[in-house]
Amino acid sequence: MKNKTKWQELTEKGINAVFMLCGIVAVGFVLCITVHLVIAGLPAIMKIGLPTFLFGTTWQPTATTTEPSFGILPFILTSIYGTAGAVLIGVPIGLLTAIFLAKAAPPKFAKVIHTAVELLAGIPSVVYGLVGMIILVPGIQRAFDLPSGATLLAAIIVLTIMILPSIINVSETALRAVPREYEEASMALGATEMETFFRVSLPAAKSGIAAAVVLGVGRAIGEAMAIIMVSGNVANLPGLLTSVRFMTTAIASEMAYAAAGSLQQQALFSIGLVLFLFIMMINVFLNVFVKGRRTA
């Protein structure tokens, strides 16, 4: 038998090390971001006080005549409402599209929709924002007779469209994974195709669909660029037809002019930390669902 040469052994070890290094880079970045965000975000929270920071309703970081105030409740609520709104509208549409694609659509037509969905996923968010500015904002202004159409509603609509591709793709995959045998059994009992999809296929794919929803939530809550352009960017407590500011857009819009080292800048870091925690929670949620699916 021929033995491994020293050279072979060395290259194998070397390649192994390269893979390892690449893996470590990803982990390293996550750790680095987490640590820095905590370090950068904590001081402002200490100074302002956690309850005042999280539950204060006024955000006036640069007030001069009165005491500046740093309450981010408007941002948090706006992010939650905006995401919830997008999910509320986007999930039913996305889910029905997925059912159609996976179960009912003629192959050619499905292909057209697939291409459209892929394009939708590939459009840069700033373009969504632009189109929203040109079409949605004036439309809403006229429809509701408002001084400005840049509102939470406009942001919700933009977010809805942005989360559609992930919801459609992930739930379609889940639906396609439902064994054909389940559906045959249902139809052999005299159920119609539609009854079968809704009562057998959907429940059987529910963990995958839940993952799709959570993914959509993650995408919506983290979006900044598109909604900064259509939401008016005013730190109001959210209402459907008021101009609002999200956590993401607060950071993006104020960071540029916040004085370096000021409490304002530090507070923006703290918003980043809060947002980060939100997204972490969503990820944990997602993981639990994915694990749930594997064990089921």
Partner 1 sequence: MDTIMEVKDLNLWYGDHHALHDINVDIPKNQITALIGPSGCGKSTFLKTLNRMNDLVENVKITGNIIYNNENIYAPKVDVTWLRKRIGMVFQKPNPFPMSIYDNIAYGPRTHGITSKVKLDTIVEKSLKDAAIWDEVKDRLNTSALGMSGGQQQRLCIARALAVEPDILLMDESTSALDPISTGKIEELAVELKKKYTVVMVTHNMQQAVRISDYCAFFLLGDLVEFSKTEEMFSMPKDRRTEDYITGRFG
- Residues near partner 1, by CB under 8 A: 179, 181-182, 184-192, 195, 199-200, 203-204, 296
Nearest to 235 by CA among 84, 82, 70: 70
| C-beta closer to partner 1: residue 172 or 183 | 183
Strand pairing partners for 59? 70
Tokens coding 289:
């669902």
Nearest to 250 by CA among 81, 78, 84: 78
| C-beta closer to partner 1: residue 187 or 290 | 187
Q: How far apart are CA 222 and CA 281, in angstroms?
A: 13
DSSP string, 105-144: S-HHHHHHHHHHHHHHHHS-HHHHHHHIIIIIHHHHHHHH
In the bound complex, what is the minimum distance in angstroms from residue 289's beta carbon to partner 1?
Answer: 16
Tokens coding 239:
């209402």
Q: How far apart are CA 236 and CA 58, in angstroms?
A: 8
In the bound complex, what is the minimum distance in angstroms from residue 192's beta carbon to partner 1?
Answer: 6
| C-beta closer to partner 1: residue 119 or 189 | 189
In the bound complex, what is the minimum distance in angstroms from residue 201's beta carbon to partner 1?
Answer: 10
In the bound complex, what is the minimum distance in angstroms from residue 280's beta carbon to partner 1?
Answer: 31
| C-beta closer to partner 1: residue 194 or 280 | 194
| C-beta closer to partner 1: residue 83 or 186 | 186
In the bound complex, what is the minimum distance in angstroms from residue 200's beta carbon to partner 1?
Answer: 6
